[in-house]
Amino acid sequence: MIVVGRNDHEGAETVWLIEKDKGTAVYIKANIGIPEQIKDCIDTVVGRFGRLDVLVNNAAMMTFKPIVDLEIEEWDLLMHVNLRSVFLFCKYTLPHMKNGAIVNISSVHGHQTTPNVLPYAASKGGIEAFTRGLSIEYSPDIARFNSIAPGAVDTPMLWSNPNVKSGKEKIEGMIGKPEDLAAAICFLASDEAVFINGTTLIVDGGRLDIL
């Protein structure tokens, strides 16, 4: 397994957790906002392993401003991280895939959202549309393409959300664990999901129903 990120500490921790469960992992440092670093990352993986079997696009950031207060640079940065990175990782990965699987992480915000997070919601809706398009553009012999739309998950991204911290956004219902998403990702990437292609699996503990 290859772990890609720009935070060395978090990358090392992720590798440690994988190896703790008897897996094998390698961390590659890359800023996914820079296209050349994404390409270099894929070239490194192919050079070492010769192919790619599964790609999971999970990078994301949020903004918390009304659209009229949002700087153009803030919009562009979010779209580069959340959406353009998905395009680039797929672009550079697909030539090296055969019978592979790509799982893109969307969000329930791509279906129903809240005020002041519209760029995030738009990027997640874009991910789902992009995923559906890939499933039409490429044969399953190359790869299957699916998205997962999580709800509230117990991660630093949830609890650092200023709307959650202030109580403006109420987290009602179930809160998932990272392991819950991992199980869904592994299922969609596995041969058990060979007949699932071009769709979004909502993994939210009922969150979408109360947004």
What does the block give as tokens for 110? 């791509």
| Residue linked to tokens 């797929």 | 90
- Find how far residue 36's CA is from the centre of its chain: 19
Residues 60 and 119: beta-carbon distance below 8 Å: no
In DSSP terms, which residues pair with 2 in a beta bridge? Answer: 26
Question: Catalytic residue at 120?
Answer: yes
DSSP state of 153: B
Give me 31's structure tokens.
């800023």
Q: In this structure, what token pair is assigned to residue 143?
A: 């790869």
| 84, 126 contact by CB (below 8 A) | no
CA distance 104 to 96: 18
**Which of 34, 23, 24 shows the shortest CA–CA distance to 59?**
34
The residue annotated as part of the active site, out of 27, 92, 120, 138, is 120
| Catalytic residue annotation | 120
